Amino acid sequence: MAVPGFMGRILRVDLTRGSCTASELPVEWKSLFLGGRGLGVGIVSSLLDPRTDALAPGNILVMAAGPLTGSGMPLGARYSVVSRSPLSGTLASSNSGGFFGPMLKQAGFDAVVIQGRAPRPSVLWIHDGTAEIRDAGASWGMTTSGAMAGIREEIASPKARVACIGPAGERLSRMAAIVNDLGRAAGRGGLGAVMGSKGLKAVAAEGNLGREPADPEEFLKVREEMRSLVDRSGISKGALHRFGTANLVRVINEAHLFPTRNYRESHFSEADQISGEKLAETILDRVVGCHSCAIACGREVRVGDETIHGPEYETIWAFGADCGVSSLEAIARANHLCNELGLDTVSTGATIACAMELSERRLIPERIRFGDREAVVDLVRKIGHREGIGDAMAEGSYRFALRHGHPEFSISVKGQEIPGYDPRGLMGQGLEYATSVRGACHVYGNMVYPEVFGIPVRLDPFTREGKAEWTKRMQDQAAAIDSLGICMFSFRIFSPALYARMAAAATALPVTEESLLLAGERCWNLQKIFNLRAGIGKADDTLPPRLLQEPVTSGPARGRVWQRQPLLDEYYAARGWDGGGQPTRDTLARLGITPVMVQGGAIPVGDG
């Protein structure tokens, strides 16, 4: 049965056998999971044994668009990649914008399920409802930009959009990203290494198989309301448009929440030199946006004789303050290398900062100094190619620090590096980091919004009050937004009720605010169940020792550390989990999670 807003088909690819098979997307999955991240999580959860090694042929990788991806709704450009993460071991999703997601859907599929390992380097070519596996020998070893150009030429399709890995993914770096549209990336979790382990260089898509919305009149009405909200909010002309996500650098630094030199400090004295405002004054060439985007938060910058994609806030923090570097040009070069080699900038920068501290403490023989801008750029190259020390660093900061006997200097959760907001001054954000089902993450439920900006409510960053309930809500809402296929920045101006109206107008499904958040909660719990079955439990829902034991030394949060208890117990209770962090029978029943949704049918059930 066709449902508007969906293509209604899943592409199943077995690289070992060289087969591509289309099947119908079950109608009930559309209501349960919506699409995007939720659909990917539902598929992987039902098919994959959590004990499967992330880099083994048996791992499953899903690329999925949402019902609003490419629909024409403002900011509807996102797609998700879902798999078991080689970095954290969790059931992880990574999200990207640009133009690949909308094109994947126009090519005829809501999701692509990839299994097995190709006998030779391959490209998956999807076009107008058909798919084929092609040889990628010519592009294997290339940078992402070179591969994209070469693949388009080989398939004779200049309009095709390509999502591909670079040398880092081919060499199975646990920080490898999947890059599309040159500067957009499904970056976190090392899912580029999963593609590399499967011998899959790229997925290319082109098509013209769009779907009309279920209720065109209501759809246009909601779309115009959204555009009006975007305009009235000032977000399309304000700091995010003028300075990109790097507009946060000064704000977060002035609040003394800007982690510096491997999280030893929370304020960077040279932050103004790497701010969004400084970038706009010096190296900005032009602003760029994704499909259907009125904000255009992306940057292109001029460095030397090159025009390259500019760094985001997290990248500026990771290669800048976290490494003690105050050169925007060096940060931009490191960012460009990550795009070309296919690396997650957050994990890569944080791993370099970890190496700098280990070096400073004489725990590794290499001399790598905080503030050495040229060393940062060189180390990105070495990590991408697994050269010298870069071979061990390509495993991520936790494995690198553990290798040298000091895992405490990896600022990570579940093996995934923490982004650029110091949780010692943000109790809710710390809770989000600790409990995130993909490892440390801010976009899986960004508590910076209420704790710093007062959106949608203002919460005192230093207290426990309301943090468990709001962290849960933010996480559920983020999962729902990822599942719809819309940009997370929309959260700043759209309410859950409006998201529900968008989805209902596009699909004719009975989506309400309650059912939307329930879909997000269902997704979150399925990821949690997978992790529990993989051996990732309550002991892993924590922050690294530095953030629990070493107080902030300056600013409003001076003298504070993150307080795990009783925050964690309050969060488990808010989620309807037992004291060990396992969903109870009542919670599973409320969410409609059944054994058939879990590979093998074995669901760990908590007391209560």
**Domain assignments of the chain as residue spans, ordered by start:** 9-206, 246-417, 423-601
Say what the pTM is: 0.97
Q: What is the C-alpha to C-alpha distance for residues 129 and 254, in angstroms, rounded to an integer? A: 51
Cβ–Cβ < 8 Å for 185, 97:
no
The CATH class that applies to domain 423-601 reads mainly alpha
Cβ(581)–Cβ(593) below 8 Å: no
pLDDT per residue over 530-549, tens digit each? 999 999 999 999 999 999 99
**Cα 335 to Cα 405: distance, rounded to the nearest angstrom:** 29
pLDDT beyond 70 at 2: no
Say how far apart CA 459 and CA 21 lie, in whole Å.
50
Q: How confident is the model at residue 234 (pLDDT cuts 50, 70, 90)?
A: confident
Question: Percent of the chain beyond pLDDT 90?
Answer: 93
Q: How far apart are CA 176 and CA 495, in angstroms?
A: 34
Tell me whether domains 9-206 and 246-417 share a fold.
no
Q: pLDDT tens digits, residue range 137-176?
A: 999 999 999 999 999 999 999 999 999 999 999 999 999 9
Question: pLDDT tens digits, residue range 48-106?
Answer: 999 999 999 999 999 999 999 999 988 999 999 999 999 999 999 999 999 999 999 99
Residue whose token pair is 């593609």: 195
pLDDT of 378 reads 98
Output phi, psi for 240, to 5 deg. -65, -40
How much is the average pLDDT of 457-461? 97
d(CA 496, CA 480): 9
Which tokens in the block code for residue 40?
A: 């990917």
Q: What pLDDT was estimated at residue 5?
A: 87
CATH class of 246-417: mainly alpha
User: Average pLDDT, stretch 553-558?
Assistant: 96
Task: Point out which residues pair with 22 in neighbouring strands.
Answer: 11
Hey, what CATH class is 9-206 in? Answer: alpha beta
Give SS3 for 177.
coil
Q: What is the mean pLDDT of residues 9-13?
A: 98
Amino acid at 107: A
Distances (CA, A) of 45 to 3, 39, 556: 24, 10, 43
Q: Quick count: other Cβ atoms within 10 Å of Cβ 156?
A: 7
Q: What percent of the chain clears pLDDT 70, i.e. is strictly above it?
A: 99
